[in-house]
Structure 1
Amino acid sequence: MDASFYVRLGGQAAVTTAVDALYRVVLADERLSDYFQGLDLGRLKGHMVALLSQVLGGPAEYTGRDLRGAHLGLGIAPEHYDVVGAYLIGVLAGLGADDEVLAAVRGVLRESAADVVE
């Protein structure tokens, strides 16, 4: 059996690096930074590491709210969701994720959009 995408990417260390890099570019983007004002970024990053790990076939340790509940009322525009998704794909590609991993993440982004975008 093939290794999970999580293992192929490099496990916990790689996912943590990816999430840190993702938030660096997202918070530097003036179109997106307002969404994160007043939030506990450490906690948010922890949730994102757990969620991304699970999505990639790693440990199922995400204990946060469901995506819809976590994003309800934030007014996230479709174009902003797409920008964050593009940043995530770019970060993962930069870490050496192969085309199969990137295609799987794109699929999850497509499936999750309705729960995040308002």
Structure 2
Amino acid sequence: MDGSFYARVGGQTAVTAAVDALYRVVLADERLSDYFQGLDLGRLKGHMVALLSQVLGGPAEYTGRDLRGAHLGLGVVPAHYDLVGAYLLGILAGLGADDDVLAAVRGVLRESAADVVE
């Protein structure tokens, strides 16, 4: 049996549900919604599903730009980055992700902050 975090959270179905929930929350938050104006949300969600899947030890199918290039010029501030991270962690916890999975995601969020925040 696959013991990856990806398998433990429920694989593709769970990751897709988490990303859908994340974008619902983020787009409804007036502090964050402006970052997404004019973007192809379907494409963005697809990239996020692939990236989160890969982060969790699932298939390595992410083909988007590197995080720094994708976020360059957006002016993401630390508080907004942290808020999106908190939303993601809450959604994963709500879907039944255990403490090990959440700790791993927290680690990736910490490591990735410098590539996203300006």
TM-score (norm 1): 0.98
Q: Say if 2:52 is the partner of 1:80.
A: no
Letter of the structure 2 residue corresponding to residue 36 of structure 1 = F
SS in structure 2 at match of 1:108: helix
Q: CA deviation at 1:2?
A: 6.5
Runs of 5+ in structure 2 lacking a partner? none
- Superposition misfits of 4+ residues, deviation over 3 angstroms: none
Q: Structure 2: how far apart are the matches of 1:117 and 1:58? A: 26
Q: Structure 1: how far apart are the matches of 2:26 and 2:64? A: 21
Q: Structure 2: how far apart are the matches of 1:53 and 1:66? A: 15
Q: CA deviation at 1:58?
A: 0.1
CA distances 1:20-66 after superposition (whole Å, capped 9, x unpaired):
00000000000000000000000000000000000000000000000
CA distances 1:40-93 after superposition (whole Å, capped 9, x unpaired):
000000000000000000000000000000000000000000000000000000
Runs of 5+ in structure 1 lacking a partner? none
Per the alignment, residue 90 of structure 1 pairs with 90
Count of residue pairs the alignment pairs up: 118
TM-score (norm 2): 0.98
Give RMSD over aligned pairs.
0.9
Q: Structure 2: how far apart are the matches of 1:105 and 1:20? A: 17
Per the alignment, residue 61 of structure 1 pairs with 61
